[in-house]
Amino acid sequence: MKREIINDLAKWKESKNRKPLIIHGARQVGKTYIIKQFGKENYDNLIYVNFETNQELSSQISDSIDAKYVINKLELFYGEKIVPGKTLIFFDEIQANERALTSLKYFYEDAPEYHIIAAGSLLGVAINRENYSFPVGKVQMLNMYPLSFKEFLVAIGRENLIEEIQKHFNSNERMDKDIHKLCLKLYRIYLVVGGMPEVVQTYLIEQKTIAAIDIQAEILESYERDMTKYADNSLSNKIISAFDSIPVQLAKDNRKFQYKVISKGGSSSIFGDAILWLKNSGIVNQVNKATSELPLEMHKDLTSFKLYMSDVGLFVNKARYPLYQIDLDTRANNDFNGTTYRALCGK
């Protein structure tokens, strides 16, 4: 699938002040696939290291994090010469090896000629731990998200509609009625399918939105497994409770996220760490209330926010929302449709 992040990767490759790059994003948004694709299309060879599955190499790199030492170990292990500018080194699931993450600092300081990208599904959670050493200022961070509606249109072969939508969005000219209906139909499909690559691929093969449900359910289950695997029992229970409350939170006309919806007597002191975990994992997006004054970052209310799931299709699945009722034109005729529309569109 064509992803817009490829353009960012190309700019990184050509940057004169290039740093090791870390791609951060929720599990299964396509980080591994897109980096491998970028490496194969833009370099002579790709050195791929998965620190979760390759324990032997992981332990060797942990012995020393000197850049030259790491390069030597990689060349010996893979039997390939690593040439600056010609080879892409890809450290996947780097959160599983704290020393490998720290080594990025030395690649920047002592061996900047090497091109290296790292990624990790729960990297945000890992680096938030107090004992985790992160190379602040020595790496470039780039977030990756599920497919946008624009990327979805490209994936389903309707790239021709993108320019048409943008043209009418930026002008007062009315769109042709039939084209408008088609765009709305595809948008409703996107609201159900969402932008997780495996789900979109399944929809492309089956050509049925109902086919997305099982894949979405598997992804949601994998998220909950991570919650129990990468947090202690007390915190994991709070994370799951906060996560489960999102559809309920967004179905209400509350102006902000309410901890009491999670549990009676709930508060930020009780569930604050759980929400931080969800944010750092990339599973949810936190949107703070802000005044119209600029810059918005200086005028946002830190105590007033809402949580939205990072993928709209996963939200529809988790909310158990009837697929046939996702109709933007009739939302005013349904008590739940108005709030659902805002939840789906992140408003």
Q: CATH number, domain at 12?
A: 3.40.50.300
Report residue 341 CA to chain centroid gap.
Answer: 22
Question: Both 279 and 188 in a single domain?
Answer: no
Question: Both 189 and 255 in a single domain?
Answer: no
Tens place of pLDDT per residue across the chain (347 aa)? 899 999 999 999 999 999 999 999 999 999 999 999 999 999 999 999 999 999 899 998 888 889 999 999 999 999 999 999 999 999 999 988 888 999 999 999 999 999 999 998 888 787 666 556 678 889 999 999 999 999 999 999 999 999 999 999 888 888 999 999 999 999 999 999 999 999 999 999 999 888 889 999 999 999 999 999 888 999 999 999 999 999 999 988 888 999 999 999 999 999 999 999 999 999 999 999 988 788 888 888 888 999 999 999 999 999 987 666 665 444 444 444 445 555 555 54
Question: Both 160 and 183 in a single domain?
Answer: yes
Which of the listed residues 87, 118, 143 is the one where a domain comes to its end? 143
For residue 19, CA distances in Å to 127, 128, 248, 272 come to: 18, 21, 42, 33
**Residue 330: predicted pLDDT:** 45
Q: Dihedral of the CA atoms 105, 107, 111, 116 (nearest 10)?
A: -140
CATH number at residue 242: 1.10.10
Question: Both 205 and 228 in a single domain?
Answer: no
Is 60 a domain residue? yes
**Residue 87: predicted pLDDT:** 98
The DSSP 8-state label assigned to residue 52 in this structure reads: T
Q: In residues, how long is the chain?
A: 347
Locus of tokens 């449900």: 213
**Residue 333: predicted pLDDT:** 42
Question: Both 11 and 128 in a single domain?
Answer: yes
Which of the listed residues 121, 143, 165 is the one where a domain comes to its end? 143
**Residue 129: predicted pLDDT:** 63
Q: How many domains does the chain have?
A: 3
Q: Could you tell me which of 184, 320, 302, 299 has the C-alpha nearest to residue 244?
A: 320
Q: Rounded to 5 degrees, what are φ and ψ at 301?
A: -95, 110
Question: Both 168 and 229 in a single domain?
Answer: no
Q: Structural domain of residue 54, as residue ranges?
A: 5-143
Which of the listed residues 210, 242, 260 is the one where a domain comes to its end? 210
Q: Rounded to 5 degrees, what are φ and ψ at 286?
A: -100, 125
Is 35 a domain residue? yes
**What single letter denotes the amino acid at residue 308?**
Y
Q: Does residue 295 have a cis peptide bond before it, meaning omega lies within 30 degrees of 0?
A: yes
**Residue 22: predicted pLDDT:** 96
For residue 61, CA distances in Å to 20, 54, 284 come to: 17, 11, 33
Distance CA 223, CA 273 (A): 17
Please, are residues 212 and 193 in contact by the beta-carbon 8 Å criterion? yes
Question: Both 266 and 312 in a single domain?
Answer: yes
Is 326 a domain residue? no
**Residue 240: predicted pLDDT:** 97
Q: Could you tell me which of 347, 324, 327 has the C-alpha nearest to residue 337?
A: 327
**Residue 328: predicted pLDDT:** 45
Report residue 170 CA to chain centroid gap.
Answer: 28
Question: Both 256 and 175 in a single domain?
Answer: no
Is 325 a domain residue? no
Distance CA 191, CA 230 (A): 30
